[in-house]
Amino acid sequence: MNSILKRRGRLVLVAAFVAVAATASGLSVKGASAAKRSNITLTIDVFGDFGYHDLYKQYEASHPGITIKEDTEDYAPHHTALAQHLATGAGADDIEAIEVGFIAQYAAQPQYFVNLKSYGAKNLKKLYPAWKWNQAVARNNSVIGLGTDVGSLGICYRKDLFKQAGLPTKPAALAKLWPTWSKFLAVGKRYQKHAPAGTKFIDSGSNLYNAIIGQANPAYYSKSGKLIVKSNAKVKAAWGLTMKAFKLHEDLGLSAFSNDWNTGFKKGTFATVTCPAWMMGYIQGQAPDASGKWNIADVPGGGGNWGGSFLTVTKQSQHQAEAAALVKFLTSPKSETYVFKHTGNLSSEIPVLKSKAVQKFRNPYFSNAPVGKIFANSALKLKPQILGPHQGDIQTAASNAIQRVEQHKQSPAASWTQFLKDAATAAGG
Amino acid sequence: MSAVSGTRDAGGATPARLRTRRKVLRRLDTKLSPYLYIAPFFFIFGVFGLFPLGYTAYVSLTDRNLLAPVSHFIGLHNYALLIHDSYFWNAVENTFGIWFLSTVPQLLLALVIAHVLNTQLHARTFFRMAVLLPQVTSIVAVALIFTQLFGHDYGFFNYFLGKFGVHHVYWEAGRFSSWVAISTMVMWRWTGYNALIYLAAMQSIPEELYEAAAVDGARRFRQFIHVTVPMLRPTILFTVIISTIGGLQLFTEAFLFSSRSSGATGGAGRQYQTIVMYLYEKFLGSTQFKFGYAAAIAWCLVLLIALFGLVNWLLVSRIRSAET
């Protein structure tokens, strides 16, 4: 017994050490790259798939002496690690990708980033829609990042389910049927009347809400950076429409990115999904057998945005000029066109969106829909939204509030009150 | 000491000075070297154990934010805020609820399993190894698989319950049901481990005690209650304390049980957010990066574990000791 106790004690100790060491290494220095002047290694830290690998090879071939190394992580850990690396002053890569949900927060800390204006970024301003450009401009007017992709919106829908419910199945006809979100819900009502057994019109209330709020400007923050969740009628309207979908029993109430949601794609239990450009890849991954059953139509209410990123150069970089040059190459119209064709991430640059390569692009999985045209036009129509530092947290609070209603845990009114409280807490610090 | 110097008398030729020097060295050797031998441990413990503890305590007294360039000393303000933070107390309640639901059945079950394994079974070693198997699986894999089993629409448990006409349970949405689901993961992983510890302790109980009990007319069940359990008291105490420490630090199972869109809140209504999850939410799980506040939560957790460990120790001590 005694020896077991001892052994167990030692085990616990070892476990404790491992845990502490793991925490410590998270904060430790990654090891500054000791590159020689003539032979430079540039590091770039991204999340998910930015589709850059072929471009790196091209760049290395045309720039002898430069080697590019990419680090990839998931969305959340990437941004968490970035905060740690910036705060501790060590460990950040030369180039760091930042998603739109975090960009406002980092734009408020320009001391960590190289002002790309000093490397000729000013001339690139005309490529971008003003809103995309301004999202990465700090209060001191320094440009901390250049835009990569944009998550413009469409509605992905199941043709076969629509047909069974007696609805039109052509994208053009549907776009005419739902110019606004309340018309969209009216179509949903028609769908539910003759819906195939066990299916609903909408997958998840929070996905619907995200799309609607993505079109609102201002949404959570006013121009002066004040939190206006409570006073903004547009937020309340988005909430109201979501609650209406729930009351009309059009909402399946799944939690986005959950197992049940993923299985829902495979089994075809919902007829529509609000679809940012990057969602196309997700659907194809979840339901490879459903090729040809999905189609894409224009989103109600004009353009909208959900996602999109920026490339920044950190002050920690030992090769800031070289890194800035690489960022300019990766975000050039030529590179962004290449990425769209091969990975599907839609460029945020106006000339690319208007180019033939994008406008003519069709996707066979989505019944050969002209996805390039749909998403590019949605991006061009997009109205800019003012972002605040805690955008992401408020969005999470909203998703949770909607789910509490969907799961019958709270009344819509009580859930709304708690959402307002959570949003205020999130923005408070 | 004196015995050693007595056997090694160097003779009268050695100058007295040398002798005293040697004496001092010898003295140093016996007095100091044990400390030197254990010094590496304390050095590492200091760097990785004590320093983080102290530093966390210091940070908890500041308004430090990971991204803000400066921070200020604000005394106990974080703790004052924490006491009035209803989400913190919600997390405390959840943690204790899940701890209770997972630990009590787990230890009772472990006792029973150990008792069974202690009898003359066929393929005893096989069964003894088998109960330890869940322990070698990755905690992440366990959490992911159980999350699927507890799925609402297509989960195995709901499918199974459906066979008996029970409506689909929304495991993740309900407070109690989510606690049950998470407790199941914890139990699955740790019951066999505790059973083996009990088994080892049972094997060191002298056979004579059982013989004496049998002579006194005690059947197997009474032997178990009146001989086995009291003899296991120190072991039970140990497992209770260890599971208290582990249970109050519960994170991975609950964190992975939630869908990605709800972040670290532990369900839409925070119905299963544990203390460590709340700490994580404040520190890294959101765009808040509140280092100071998270440090205060960490220290409150330490105090809670110490307090709760003490209470458990007092409770378990009431099991009639074998010696009395």
CATH code where residue A119 lies: 3.40.190.10
Same domain, residue pair A83 and A96: yes
Residue ranges of chain A whose pLDDT lies below 70: 1-38, 429
The pLDDT tens digits for B292-308 are 999 999 999 999 999 99
A361 part of a folded domain: no
pTM of the complete model beyond 0.90: no
| Residues of B with Cβ-Cβ distance to A111 under 8 angstroms | 69
A187 part of a folded domain: yes
Is residue A300 reached through a cis peptide bond, with omega within 30 degrees of 0 on the bond before it? no
Longest dimension (CA), chain A: 78
User: Can you tell me the distance from the alpha carbon of A198 to that of A184, in angstroms, rounded to the nearest whole number?
Assistant: 20
A300 part of a folded domain: yes
Among 1.10.300.10, 3.40.50.620, 1.10.3720.10, 2.60.40.790, what is the CATH number of B78-316?
Answer: 1.10.3720.10
A110 part of a folded domain: yes
Distance from CA of B22 to the nearest CA of A (A): 37
Q: Do B261 and A87 touch (CB under 8 A)?
A: no
The pLDDT tens digits for B79-90 are 999 999 999 999
Nearest to A181 by CA among A244, A224, A132, A131: A244
Same domain, residue pair A98 and A86: yes
Same domain, residue pair A43 and A190: no
A238 part of a folded domain: yes
**B316 with B233: CB under 8 angstroms?**
yes
User: Can you tell me the distance from the alpha carbon of A203 to that of A213, in angstroms, rounded to the nearest whole number?
Assistant: 17
Beta bridge partners of A298: A154
Same domain, residue pair A182 and A290: yes
| Residues of A with Cβ-Cβ distance to B284 under 8 angstroms | 80, 83
User: Can you tell me the distance from the alpha carbon of A200 to that of A216, in angstroms, rounded to the nearest whole number?
Assistant: 26
| Residues of A with Cβ-Cβ distance to B287 under 8 angstroms | 101-102, 105, 389-393, 426
CA of B29: how far to CAs of A254, A385, A426, B32, B160, in Å? 70, 74, 60, 5, 69
**A120 with A374: CB under 8 angstroms?**
no
Out of B148, B204, B287, the one facing A390 most closely (by C-beta) is B287
A27 part of a folded domain: no
Q: Do B287 and A389 touch (CB under 8 A)?
A: yes
Q: Do A261 and B259 touch (CB under 8 A)?
A: yes
Q: Do B52 and A20 touch (CB under 8 A)?
A: yes
Out of A256, A267, A407, the one facing B173 most closely (by C-beta) is A407
Distance from CA of B66 to the nearest CA of A (A): 6
| Residues of A with Cβ-Cβ distance to B233 under 8 angstroms | none
User: Can you tell me the distance from the alpha carbon of A63 to that of A326, in angstroms, rounded to the nearest whole number?
Assistant: 10
Out of A20, A83, A260, the one facing B154 most closely (by C-beta) is A260
Same domain, residue pair A265 and A284: yes
Same domain, residue pair A386 and A275: yes
> In residues, how long is chain A?
429
Q: Where does the pLDDT of residue B3 fall: very low under 50, low under 70, confident under 90, or very high at 90 and above?
A: very low
Distance from CA of A52 to the nearest CA of B (A): 26
User: Can you tell me the distance from the alpha carbon of A45 to that of A86, in angstroms, rounded to the nearest whole number?
Assistant: 13
pLDDT attached to residue B42: 92
User: Can you tell me the distance from the alpha carbon of A291 to that of A304, in angstroms, rounded to the nearest whole number?
Assistant: 25
Residue of A nearest to B256 (CA): A258
Q: Tell me the residue range of the domain where A257 lies.
A: 152-306+372-428
| Residues of A with Cβ-Cβ distance to B288 under 8 angstroms | 390, 393, 426, 429
Distance from CA of B259 to the nearest CA of A (A): 5
Out of B48, B234, B261, the one facing A255 most closely (by C-beta) is B261
Give me A116's structure tokens: 């790309």
Round the average pLDDT of chain B to a whole number and report it. Answer: 88
Q: What is the dihedral of CA A347, A348, A349, A351, to 10 degrees?
A: 60
Same domain, residue pair A115 and A212: no
Number of domains in chain A: 2
B242 touches chain A (CB under 8 A): yes
Q: Do B259 and A258 touch (CB under 8 A)?
A: yes
Q: Do A400 and B238 touch (CB under 8 A)?
A: no
Q: Tell me which of A18, A403, A411 to substitute to probe the interface with B (most B C-beta atoms closer than 10 Å).
A: A403
Give me B202's structure tokens: 């049972």
Same domain, residue pair A247 and A221: yes
Residue B173 predicted with pLDDT over 70: yes
| Residues of B with Cβ-Cβ distance to A5 under 8 angstroms | 235, 238
pLDDT attached to residue A35: 41
Which among A356, A391, A417 is the end of a domain? A356
Same domain, residue pair A227 and A141: no
The domain ranges of chain B are 2-59, 78-316
Q: What is the dihedral of CA B67, B68, B72, B75, to 10 degrees?
A: -40
Same domain, residue pair A326 and A394: no
The pLDDT tens digits for B209-230 are 989 998 998 888 888 888 898 8
| Residues of B with Cβ-Cβ distance to A256 under 8 angstroms | 259-261
Q: Do A256 and B263 touch (CB under 8 A)?
A: no
Residue of B nearest to A422 (CA): B87
A11 part of a folded domain: no
Residue of B nearest to A259 (CA): B148
Residue of B nearest to A399 (CA): B262
Judged by DSSP in three states, A44 sits in strand
Same domain, residue pair A115 and A179: no
Q: What percent of chain B has pLDDT over 90?
A: 53
Q: Do A399 and B287 touch (CB under 8 A)?
A: no
* Interfacial B residues in 181-220 facing A (CB < 8 Å): 197, 200-201, 204
